Amino acid sequence: MTEQPVRVAVLVSGGGTNLQALLDALHDSTLARVARVISNRPDAGAIGRARRSAVPTTILRDPSDAAELLAALEGMQLVVLAGYLKLVPAPVVSQFRGRMINIHPALLPAFGGPGMYGQRVHAAVLASGATESGATVHFVDEVFDRGAIIAQERVRIEPGDTPERLAARVLEAEHRLLPRVVLELARRIRE
């Protein structure tokens, strides 16, 4: 009997370019597939991307309701937070420990934590005088951006960088890194 692809749920709040990178990378994969997209926002661009790819979607009524999120995650084997801006309730974290990951647009543990999202991250990196930034994929635990780091891709800071320019280059790195990590974890889940 051939094994079924690992079922991946993606949680989103925004435009969903990382979701798109996953949809594109897993499209022909026998290893993993995006099986559900979950959002706290019905108007998130990511929801449109999911629908265009015929992936089932769930809009959360209350993102702090663990039972509601657990019901949406029924049957999922790996959970990816891709631009999801809400804290995942602790009972959900513990149910998916080691099988729930987040992507962050900086080199954690620096420039993470509550309020560190979007352009604020890149503005803080530039203001610090750092010479590099990057993308981090890490396991999710009970605290924003704190869980164990799985992989990072570094991005050099260029003279005259603005938060927008840096964000665009980091985002390209995210789109390479996230599918790579998801496929690697799916491989481990199938072993």
Instruction: Give catalytic residue positions.
Output: 104
- Give the residue among 7, 114, 98 at the shortest CA–CA distance from 55: 7
> Residue 36 and residue 27: Cα distance in Å, rounded?
14
- Burial profile 68-102: b = 16 or more Cβ within 10 angstroms, e = fewer: bbeebbeebbbbbbbbbbbebbeebbeebeebbbb
69 versus 140: smaller Cβ distance to ligand GRF: 140
CB of 100 to ligand GRF, least distance (A): 14
45 versus 190: smaller Cβ distance to ligand GRF: 45
30 versus 51: smaller Cβ distance to ligand GRF: 51
CB of 12 to ligand GRF, least distance (A): 6
CB of 1 to ligand GRF, least distance (A): 35
Please give the residue whose beta carbon sits closest to ligand GRF in the complex.
83
For the chain, report the end-to-end CA distance as a whole number of angstroms.
15
Residues making contact with ligand GRF (CB under 6 A): 14-19, 46, 82-83, 103-105, 117, 171, 174
> Residue 166 and residue 125: Cα distance in Å, rounded?
9
